[in-house]
Copies of this chain bind each other. A is one copy, B any other.
Amino acid sequence: MGKAMKKLAVLTSGGDSPGMNAAIRSVVRTCAYHEVECVGVYRGYEGLIEGDFKAMDARSVRGIINKGGTILKSARSKEFRTEEGRKIAYKQLIDAHIDGLVVVGGDGSFTGALIFNQEFGFPVMGIPGTIDNDIYGTSHTLGFDTALNTVVDAIDKIRDTASSHNRLFFIEVMGRDVGHIALNVGIAGGAEEILIPEEDLGLDRLVESLNKSRKSGKTSSIVIVAEGDKIGKNIFELKDYVDENMEGYDVRVSVLGHMQRGGAPSCFDRVLASRMGVKAVESLLEGETNYMVGLLDNKVELTPLEKAIKGKSKINLELLRVSDIMST
């Protein structure tokens, strides 16, 4: 371990998620607790390059734990993908006497942090903030639990109208590469089928399943479709397919969209964010670098950034089976 750290910085990067503000607050307050200065960096790596910094003390993060989004804003930075850009960013950090950086974001953001460390030896620590839960090394990413509740609330509302009209609804939820959201909300929302990127159910089986469900006496049905499902059709094509190939269905489509990213974080996400912020700051202060803070078996643990980036977050196969049994 080198010299004692006196000033840390924190930024949010990539898609925003509920809990990012709670994480910022935790980083800032943990710094204050350890009498270390803290600096907020605006607009992710872009603000790092521009030196868009702001000193933050314990009071400056008052009243944000329950706010969605990120007060530090987020952005994607092309420039930080260049060595030139990263060199400028490094200079900004050095000029501001900053000794370590906490990055709240997804795997793209972590890749940037890791390269940055490898080039300049600058201490970095990651906190996984994304609603998709698609990061290896943590059972839950920040915002995942909140997004699940937001989506389930929307499904509950759609079910009201679905069952009043005996309709079939295809509901698209976020998840380009992983089906965590779809799988959980499918079970919680009482969906008849769940289409996820990890599994190609096949159109025939979908049709078969819907027919079986109808024969069993169900008059309305909900199918949850992850953005990145593998069935080979987008959600509107799915509707057309059913319209053409199945009789007697009144099919509707709902794409839940960006509201899934917002809202006041759940209790779970606020507590998780608070815990992760403490761990991230204290790990940096203890001389650690290149780790991601994650939740493993309800404990906050470190995973090397390299593993977090390369590893793959896998869906729980038990949930697939539970979903299957529940739609009996």
- Chain A residues with CB under 8 Å of chain B are 12, 15-16, 18, 20, 25-26, 29-30, 32-33, 58-59, 62-63, 65-70, 73-75, 139, 145, 148-152, 154, 156-166, 169, 184-185, 187-190, 216-218, 252-264, 266-268, 270-271, 274-275, 278, 297-300, 316, 318-319, 321-322, 325-326, 328
With most chain B CB atoms within 10 A of its CB, the pick from A62, A157, A164, A299 is: A164
Q: Is the CB of B268 within 8 A of A268?
A: yes
Q: Is the CB of A58 within 8 A of B216?
A: yes
Q: When chains A and B are docked, how far (Å) is the Cα of A297 from the Cα of B318?
A: 14
Q: Is the CB of A297 within 8 A of B297?
A: yes
Q: When chains A and B are docked, how far (Å) is the Cα of A253 from the Cα of B70?
A: 21
With most chain B CB atoms within 10 A of its CB, the pick from A73, A158, A161, A322 is: A161
Q: When chains A and B are docked, how far (Å) is the Cα of A229 from the Cα of B95?
A: 50
Q: Is the CB of A322 within 8 A of B267?
A: no
A253's nearest neighbour on chain B, judged by CB, is B257
A70-B164, A257-B254 known; A65-B190 Cβ under 8 A:
yes
With most chain B CB atoms within 10 A of its CB, the pick from A16, A20, A33, A322 is: A322
A269's nearest neighbour on chain B, judged by CB, is B188
Q: List 26 A-B contacts (CB under 8 A).
A: A16-B161, A16-B165, A29-B326, A65-B189, A67-B160, A74-B164, A74-B165, A75-B166, A145-B268, A149-B266, A149-B267, A152-B267, A157-B259, A157-B260, A158-B262, A185-B267, A187-B271, A188-B274, A254-B258, A255-B257, A256-B259, A266-B266, A271-B322, A275-B322, A297-B297, A300-B318
Q: When chains A and B are docked, how far (Å) is the Cα of A318 from the Cα of B148?
A: 26
Contact of A259 among B59, B154, B299 (CB under 8 A): B154
Report the minimal beta-carbon distance from A72 to chain B, rounded to whole angstroms.
9
Residues of B within 8 A of A274 (CB): 187-188, 322, 326
Residues of B within 8 A of A68 (CB): 157, 160-161
Contact of A158 among B253, B258, B318 (CB under 8 A): B258
Q: Is the CB of A69 within 8 A of B160?
A: yes
Contact of A216 among B15, B59, B254 (CB under 8 A): B59
A158-B258, A328-B29 known; A267-B73 Cβ under 8 A:
no
Residues of B within 8 A of A162 (CB): 258
Residues of B within 8 A of A145 (CB): 267-268
Q: When chains A and B are docked, how far (Å) is the Cα of A159 from the Cα of B69?
A: 8
Q: Is the CB of A270 within 8 A of B150?
A: no
Contact of A29 among B62, B73, B259, B325 (CB under 8 A): B325
Q: When chains A and B are docked, how far (Å) is the Cα of A73 from the Cα of B322?
A: 25
Q: Is the CB of A271 within 8 A of B158?
A: no
Contact of A166 among B18, B73, B165 (CB under 8 A): B73
Report the minimal beta-carbon distance from A261 to chain B, rounded to whole angstroms.
4
Report the minimal beta-carbon distance from A207 to chain B, rounded to whole angstroms.
21
Q: Is the CB of A148 within 8 A of B268?
A: yes
Q: When chains A and B are docked, how far (Å) is the Cα of A257 from the Cα of B255?
A: 8
Residues of B within 8 A of A326 (CB): 25-26, 29, 274
